[in-house]
Amino acid sequence: MYINFLPVVALGLLVVWMFLALEVRKKRTNLFHDQVEPELAERRLKMLKAFLLVAGISFAAFIVGVVLHNALSALFEIEEPVSFFIALLSLAAFTMATIGGLVMFLKGRRETR
């Protein structure tokens, strides 16, 4: 059975970002471990918000690229590669922002010794 994995990956990464966005909204700097210095926690929170912004923009660009590619292919009956590459690059940016955000989140949750 063949499953197109790109939408599944995008949906999984979107769920991760929804969780992180809710956590950032709910807990502010308490998102990280209790023994983290306040300045470090504030910097990590700013980085996490930056990753969240990049992920949101790239996910929106992914959706626009896919819709544009499909619409142009349907209307003009030609393969239009520019919007397809935009969709793929934005999915890659979304994946990298998710990995960076998860690293920032998990690094902050880790207990310092």
Q: What is the pLDDT of residue 43?
A: 79
Q: In this structure, is residue 18 part of a structural domain?
A: no
pLDDT, tens digit only, all 113 positions of the chain: 456 777 777 677 778 778 777 777 776 556 665 665 667 767 777 888 888 889 889 989 988 988 888 888 888 888 778 888 888 899 899 889 888 888 887 777 665 55
The CA distance from 43 to 87, in Å, is 31
pLDDT value at position 61? 92
Domain membership of residue 110 (yes or no) is yes
Tell me if 13 sits within 8 A of 54, measured CB to CB.
no
The pLDDT, as a whole number, for residue 78 is: 80
* Domain extent for 65: 37-113
Residue 6 lies in a domain: no
Query: Could you give the C-alpha distances from 6 to 3, 70, 84, in angstroms and in order?
Result: 9, 15, 13
Instruction: Establish if 80 belongs to a structural domain.
Output: yes
Q: What is the number of domains present in the chain?
A: 1
3-state secondary structure of 4: coil
12 domain-assigned: no
| Inside any domain, residue 17 | no
